[in-house]
Amino acid sequence: MTKQPVSEYESFIGLIQAATEDKAIRDSILGLAQLDAFNRESLLNTFTQSMALRGAPQALLASLSILKDDAIAAKVVDMLK
């Protein structure tokens, strides 16, 4: 995975914090993070492209893309379970 700017990690941390406070967000993020690498990346690519076409904030798209990293996805699963 390419190195992300710090601001993207800050947005990702905000997303994970929201997931700890909101069951619907937690369930969505946890569902993504638990997928195997191929399916997680495929779903994230499709999802972020669709969201981009609808004008989603770049920070949100970048935050979700961080979940493509296997180690980060595994840590998210540990944190949200």
How many CB atoms neighbour CB 11 within 10 A?
Answer: 21
Where in the sequence is the domain holding 56, given as residue range(s)? Answer: 6-80
Please give the model's pTM, rounded to 2 decimal places.
Answer: 0.82
* Domain presence at residue 46: yes
Q: Is residue 1 part of a domain?
A: no
18: which residues sit within 8 A by CB, 6+ positions away? 25
* Residue 5: per-residue pLDDT: 59
| Dist. CA 33–CA 77, nearest whole Å | 6
Span 13-62, pLDDT tens digits: 999 999 999 999 999 999 999 999 999 999 999 999 999 999 999 988 98
Q: How many domains does the chain have?
A: 1
Extract the tokens encoding 29.
């993020």
Cα 24 from Cα 5, distance rounded (Å): 27
